Structure 1
Amino acid sequence: MSPGETNTEVARCDETASEPGDSSSPSVAVVHMDLMSKGGGEAVAMNALEALQAAYDVTLITLTDPDIPALNDFFNTSVDAEALTVRRAGVLAPTIHETFGLKYYVLQNALLGRYARRHADEFDLLVSTINELGLETDSVQYVHFPFDWTVSCADRDHIFHPTVEDDSWYERLCTRVAGVSRRDIQANTLFANSEWTAEVVEDAYGTKPEILHPPIDTSEFVNLPWEEREDGFVTVGRIERSKRIAEMIRVVDGVRERGHDVHFHVIGPTVDEEYREEVAAMAAEREYVELEGEVPRSELVERICTHKYGIHGKEYEHFGMAVAELAAGGTVPFIPSNGGQHAIVRDEELLMYDSPEDAVEKIAHVLEDESRQRELRMSTREIERRFGRRRFKRAFRDAVDDALAQSGASEREPAATVVSNPASNED
């Protein structure tokens, strides 16, 4: 399915949809910190923008100046750059972002939400694709991982942002600036990217979001026969410390020490230069490790489809879009056992590890049994059914339709009823 076909399919949800940018269309502001980070959250935002442009006058409230054509190439989307209004969220938050990058991430998002709230009366609806912000009560918010401004989570170490110390002056500042209340959050239309995240949100705010798995682009993956694939691993994700790339390299070391001649490709954009240098130094010492960094989408797909195994290192992953892509491309993906990513591999014990040592044991066991390898693979068709983009866009668009109808801002008939999300039915 081409990006153009995707946009057409979404528009067909409602034959009365207006042209993008039509002044008669309801106005929707999508709030997202930095699309150029090019992670899973940004994939959600780009697909949401594409879906909403089919019917609404869309503005992006952000901290940067995104290169929409480049992002379309990266995510295989078709957001109309000319029809999209991009507005920087004031001066302070963009300046902090330009100066410090992700260092004050939570504060930047607090300021972003505050700006959007102050300008809410300029739009018919506010939509956040960057977690729960202090928006008005009838907004639509997609939660990848809760900020928990109310600081009510019992399992705080895994829930709140790791750069924020409990009850620090910085935390108190962020909480005050954000202006988020439990009552407002409970009145919003909330989505969570996984069952695990939904439970975390419920723990934090006393309300459980609807589960809407992120949009996985399966259109370019091909099912290359197992015997034609290379005996190697691929990992995909931003190069930063939380992705635990160094630990994955050591896992590959351990697997090789068991007598398996495997290699390792590390693919993804750099967001932490210091950590990238550490990983590059490790790769330079190992001829079987290739640090590729950010590559074109076509090369990413080719690398996945020509290798047998995938590996993911981030613990307490909220969902794991990279894991779903590894599965869609026909690899056998090995993942940490915690967080939301276990749903992708259907809780298969052999694919989930508790520690690097456990990863080596389980990977070596699978590598020694070719029939088991074939049994553990998932098909592109299955990933499309459970996590595909059309499913996501239709459900997201319906939620916005409903929110606008409830506020009286939309005169259109509601879009066609969405079939229950098959990704939620672990059959």
Structure 2
Amino acid sequence: MAKIGVVHMDLGSKGGGEAVCMNVLESVQDGHDVTLLTLTEPDLDALNAYFNTAVTDVTVERAGTIAPWVHERYGLTYYILQNALLGRYARNRAAEFDLLVSTINELGLGPDAVQYVHFPFDWTVSLDNREHIFHPTVEADSFYERLCTTVGEIDLAELRECTLLANSTWTAEVVADAYGAEPRVCYPPVDTAEFDDVPWGEREDGFVAVGRIERSKRIVELIEIVDGVRDRGHDVHFHVVGPTVDEEYRREVAAMAADREYVILEGELPRERLVELICSHRYGLHGKEYEHFGMAVAELAAGGAIPFIPANGGQHDIVGDRSELEYESVADAVERIDRVLSNRALQRELRIDRAEIERRFGRERFKDEIRAVVAEALGEPVRETEPVSKAGASERGE
């Protein structure tokens, strides 16, 4: 029985990264002694219910005192520093484990770790150049960068010797550009089990958006898109689903919804209600630009909805680069959505079969890949399963 330390800052955010962490814990808890190194005290029962996982046999350990205090006091401010402190703590404990696994991007864990990258911290560049990643709400300067890199004991040669996994072909390319090392592409786990194949004719003519309520999700712009689609004569409505991260932004969204009877601000919903909404509607909307993968997009597709997405980032892997679904701006989105909503034959063509989503992005596929990667890192026999893809080797045959 190997001792495995899984490193993740805060499972309470309930995003795609947290789904990855919970599914990694579930994947490796059988047959291994697993410890979660984190900054908070997670409610595993609540997280199991939220992510439909069964994490039970895991020890939870807060990473010292400084990093948890910074997180409790400042929240997501000093985000990079908090992860540097978390990585340093895990590195200092490395001798107690047979393997360290980070599910919160690349940390200074030593040369033999497994590290799942949603989008790289990229310790090689200044914060000014860290585009499309949530960074601390402090002035970006070289001192802060040097401090984080030093605290985290980041060694680029060691990072290149780690087993690096990336959540999409796009992210894999970004990691390769940053470090000169090609990660394996391991798509995150999309839970498709609860989705039903509701006939198209029985679905409501409306949109569903799923994600945390924060500015990066661009919910205001999504409401403007729905406004424009309605102006084109389509009697559609819009459900906004997700937990609140930014209270100020939520108030802004709530004010817009209050002025529009066709916009329903649902907030965080039980899993059953979320699945019901997706399966009972025809369309999905996603607003985050440079999305690293887009688990919400995959869930919309698995539920039979047609997802419209920004024309950048890793979510292209999900929709197969269908230009009809990829928009550049609010006005462009209105144009593309109008064309799709006006063409029933095109709607049938654009829907993605749930079995295809399960094959490419499903949870059992993810668990098999993680178990194989962990076994390989531990030097254990790897049982037969579909191999993890290499970066750049798209499933479209590129």
- TM-score (norm. length: structure 1): 0.89
| Aligned 1:22-421 pairs, distance under 5 A | 25-80=1-56, 83-151=57-125, 156-158=130-132, 161=135, 163=137, 166-405=140-379, 413-421=380-388
User: Aligned AA for 1:195?
Assistant: T
Does the aligned pair in 1 maintain the 2:127–2:145 contact within 8 Å? no
Deviation at 1:102, TM superposition (A): 0.9
Paired with 1:343 and 1:164, the residues of 2 have a C-alpha distance of 33
Paired with 1:417 and 1:292, the residues of 2 have a C-alpha distance of 43
Does the aligned pair in 2 maintain the 1:58–1:84 contact within 8 Å? yes
Does the aligned pair in 1 maintain the 2:80–2:136 contact within 8 Å? no
Give unmatched runs, 5+ long, in structure 1.
1-24, 406-412
Distance change in 2, residues 1:39/1:120 (3 Å): same
Paired with 1:92 and 1:358, the residues of 2 have a C-alpha distance of 47
User: Aligned AA for 1:218?
Assistant: T
CA shift digits 1:177-199 (9 cap, x unpaired): 12212101110001000011001
CA shift digits 1:359-379 (9 cap, x unpaired): 011001111111111110011
Deviation at 1:170, TM superposition (A): 2.4
Deviation at 1:329, TM superposition (A): 0.2
User: Aligned AA for 1:415?
Assistant: V
1:22 is matched with which residue?
none
Does the aligned pair in 2 maintain the 1:152–1:204 contact within 8 Å? no
Using the TM superposition, name which of 98-107 and 181-190 deviates more.
98-107
Does the aligned pair in 1 maintain the 2:192–2:302 contact within 8 Å? yes
Paired with 2:174 and 2:165, the residues of 1 have a C-alpha distance of 12
Question: Match of 2:331, SS?
Answer: helix
Deviation at 1:426, TM superposition (A): 2.2
Paired with 2:339 and 2:147, the residues of 1 have a C-alpha distance of 50
Distance change in 2, residues 1:164/1:135 (3 Å): farther
Deviation at 1:421, TM superposition (A): 4.8
Paired with 1:45 and 1:251, the residues of 2 have a C-alpha distance of 33
| Aligned 1:9-20 pairs, distance under 5 A | none
Distance change in 2, residues 1:383/1:162 (3 Å): farther
Deviation at 1:168, TM superposition (A): 3.9
Paired with 1:343 and 1:51, the residues of 2 have a C-alpha distance of 24
Does the aligned pair in 2 maintain the 1:232–1:308 contact within 8 Å? yes
Paired with 1:389 and 1:98, the residues of 2 have a C-alpha distance of 32
Distance change in 2, residues 1:148/1:69 (3 Å): same
Question: Match of 2:132, SS?
Answer: helix
Paired with 1:394 and 1:153, the residues of 2 have a C-alpha distance of 36
Question: Match of 1:142, SS?
Answer: strand
Does the aligned pair in 1 maintain the 2:239–2:266 contact within 8 Å? yes
Deviation at 1:156, TM superposition (A): 4.1
CA shift digits 1:142-201 (9 cap, x unpaired): 000000012189964336737465544322322221221210111000100001100100
Deviation at 1:86, TM superposition (A): 0.3
RMSD of the alignment, in Å? 1.7
Aligned residues: 394
Give unmatched runs, 5+ long, in structure 2.
none
Paired with 1:162 and 1:265, the residues of 2 have a C-alpha distance of 30
2:395 is matched with which residue?
425
Does the aligned pair in 2 maintain the 1:164–1:170 contact within 8 Å? no
User: Aligned AA for 2:387?
Assistant: S
Deviation at 1:245, TM superposition (A): 0.6
Does the aligned pair in 2 maintain the 1:165–1:171 contact within 8 Å? no
CA shift digits 1:13-42 (9 cap, x unpaired): xxxxxxxxxxxx110000000111100000
Paired with 1:41 and 1:249, the residues of 2 have a C-alpha distance of 26
Does the aligned pair in 1 maintain the 2:184–2:388 contact within 8 Å? no
Paired with 2:34 and 2:375, the residues of 1 have a C-alpha distance of 14
User: Aligned AA for 2:213?
Assistant: I
User: Aligned AA for 2:3?
Assistant: S
Deviation at 1:390, TM superposition (A): 1.0
